[in-house]
Structure 1
Amino acid sequence: MSSTTISPEILSLIDPVVSGLKRHQIVGDKVIALAICHLLMKVISAARWTNPYDLINIIRKVGTILHTAYPRKIITGNIVRRVLAIIRDEIETENSNNDNTPMMSSMFSLLSTNSNTSHKVQHNQSKKQSSDFRSVVIEGIRDLIDEIANVNEGIETMSVDLIHDNEILLTPTPTSETVLQFLIKARAKRKFTVLVTESFPNDINTAHNFVKKLADHKIETILIPDTTVFAVMSRVGKVIIGSSAVFANGGCISNSGVAHVVECAKEHKTPVFALAGLFKLSPLYPFNGDDLIEVGNSGKVLNYDDFKFVENVELVTNPLDNYIPPEHIDIYITNVGGFAPSFIYRIVLDNYKTEDNKLE
């Protein structure tokens, strides 16, 4: 068996996560990201390899399997690519250290009379090097886990500077925990009103719970129907949206219904702030937007009980997401600062390696 073949031991580690993704039992962007991080730590600990590039091939194969399990969830690929970047950085560090190593050791090997002893020493050294390499990479993944776990804290710190007293805010993403914590944090020093769209048909219950949580923190909150967005936009100071993935071109994936809200905001010249943790930034480009959109239960749009209507309709679709082009977003608020959509590609280059853009 070649060193880059995925062993049965590693497959047994991957299978529970793959089935969890396929059945949508692992839900929530942060939960998925952390699950992938912990899985890759186990894979790196269990994998057998002599060359770090063998480890890269194993991780790429694992990434391809995870992507196939849930193709529209961009975050799985992001985490795999971030881990690959950690491995490649460590290879570069080791190579630069080796370049500075004096030639004395190679001179000694030339003078050595016992080639078997020399071979044994080299084998022990490579074993120690792979063990050290493994521990450094795992430490890098632990740092990534800390970054993801504390992602909201970095974003929250900017809330007080961005929100003003007596301002009216609008959010069409009541499913976003990041947006919720951002608003709660701002309330500590600012008094403002939040308009929350009802998010028909998929997130009505979530929207009601979101409003209740904001009200519990003494934030004046109003739940509005999706159809009234254009009417109220002239009074809105800022639109704040959550996102599930941000692409290298500055576009993002957000909840269904957000596209028409940001369109209204652009018409009224209302600034749109998109909140996204660094782990949601992807090196990919959205060449085909339709492939990125997940479709849900059509029965929520047109109930099956209304069979008279159903007979006269050719197709009923219920998209769960919208693609938001970069020109409809003014600034991205991340845990490492605020950036214009046109600058996202630069942040991506700092965190990913271009050779890993395609995992296959």
Structure 2
Amino acid sequence: MSRLWFSRRDDPDDPDSFARTLKPVLMEAIQDVLDELETVYDNISKSAKDHIHSDEIILTIGKSRTVEAFLKSAAHYRNFTVIVAESGPTYGGHDIAASLSSSGISTFLVPDSSIYALMSRVNKVILGAHTILANGGMYALSGSLLAANAAKAHSTPVVVCAGQFKLTPLWNLYHDYAALDFTDPSSVLGFEEGELVDKVDVISPYYDYVRPELVDVYITNDGDHPPASVYRLVKESYGDEVNDL
């Protein structure tokens, strides 16, 4: 393959040779990604019974398909209780709470404001991730930072379930609100509030930046990894050309 690559690429009489050689390489790479996406939930869920034990109380926030599959897999082997924070203002927690409950898992839906008060009773926090950064931190659904900080205060382990395709070497860490994705502020403060709307700026970020020291372990489709080893996974995924880690 390497000889074919260089010989065709350097052929001045065949300008399309490079494109013809590149096409099967790209198709193979795309197929690898598709295969990973199809199996990511099953591969992550394989270790669920090793991380969740009988009679534990698990807290999660909002809706994550990966976390949902992880908890449902663990329910085949363990009896446990899940507390779902509703994750306002999108309230994705309502959907996952209904799904878990319909699967026979003891589930309680609570407002985000109850997270800290309930944390003393929680054995483990399980979160999903939008993006995992090379420094071991992550972006996750708004409210995840609140849950992670509450867990830190109570020495409660924080477990993050995410596929390795969510690894990224670079991200805008320097934005005031961590992420550039925002929800409609009217869901936080309605326009019917009158004069108050003109006097305040309402910022409703969709994602929180969760620092690496607030995460205990990442469970990926390639095993368990502490935040300190994420940079190695990023290098393996993106190659040696990624130097600014």
- 8 Å CA contact 1:273–1:329 kept in 2: the answer is yes
Residues 292 and 136 of structure 1, relative CA distance in 2, 3 Å threshold: same
- 8 Å CA contact 2:132–2:167 kept in 1: the answer is yes
How far residue 129 of structure 1 moved from its aligned partner, in angstroms, is 7.2
Partner of 2:216: 330
SS in 2 for 1:355: coil
How far residue 209 of structure 1 moved from its aligned partner, in angstroms, is 1.8
Please give the residue correspondences for 1:31-50 in structure 2 after superposition, counting only pairs within 5 Å. none
Whole-angstrom distance in 2 between the partners of 1:308 and 1:262: 35
Partner of 2:236: 350
Partner of 2:96: 210
Q: Give the 4+ runs in structure 1 shifted more than 2 A.
A: 95-98, 122-134, 289-293, 308-311, 353-358
Partner of 1:249: 135
Partner of 1:281: 167
Residues 325 and 123 of structure 1, relative CA distance in 2, 3 Å threshold: same
- 8 Å CA contact 2:5–2:18 kept in 1: the answer is no
1:45-80 per-residue CA deviation (whole Å, 9 max, x = no partner) reads xxxxxxxxxxxxxxxxxxxxxxxxxxxxxxxxxxxx
2:186 maps to 1:299: yes
* Structure 2 counterpart of 1:307, one-letter code: G
Partner of 1:310: 197
1:68-102 per-residue CA deviation (whole Å, 9 max, x = no partner) reads xxxxxxxxxxxxxxxxxxxxxxxxx716997xx9x
Whole-angstrom distance in 2 between the partners of 1:289 and 1:195: 31
Residues 356 and 341 of structure 1, relative CA distance in 2, 3 Å threshold: closer
Q: Which has the larger radius of gyration?
A: 1
2:110 maps to 1:224: yes
Whole-angstrom distance in 1 between the partners of 2:201 and 2:131: 28
1:233-253 per-residue CA deviation (whole Å, 9 max, x = no partner) reads 111110000111000000100
Q: Which has the higher helix share?
A: 1
2:81 maps to 1:190: no
Partner of 2:45: 156
1:262-311 per-residue CA deviation (whole Å, 9 max, x = no partner) reads 00100100000011111100011554143524122111111111114324
Please give the residue correspondences for 1:168-187 in structure 2 after superposition, counting only pairs within 5 Å. 168-172=57-61, 174-187=62-75
Whole-angstrom distance in 2 between the partners of 1:129 and 1:308: 63
Partner of 1:57: none
Whole-angstrom distance in 2 between the partners of 1:353 and 1:294: 28
Aligned length: 240
Identity %: 36
SS in 2 for 1:338: strand
How far residue 128 of structure 1 moved from its aligned partner, in angstroms, is 6.4
- 8 Å CA contact 1:249–1:285 kept in 2: the answer is no
TM-score (norm 2): 0.89
Whole-angstrom distance in 2 between the partners of 1:357 and 1:294: 27
Q: Which has the higher strand share?
A: 2
Partner of 1:140: 29
Q: Which runs of 5+ in 1 are unaligned?
A: 1-92, 102-121
CA root-mean-square deviation = 2.5
* Structure 1 counterpart of 2:55, one-letter code: N
Whole-angstrom distance in 1 between the partners of 2:78 and 2:146: 28
TM-score (norm 1): 0.62
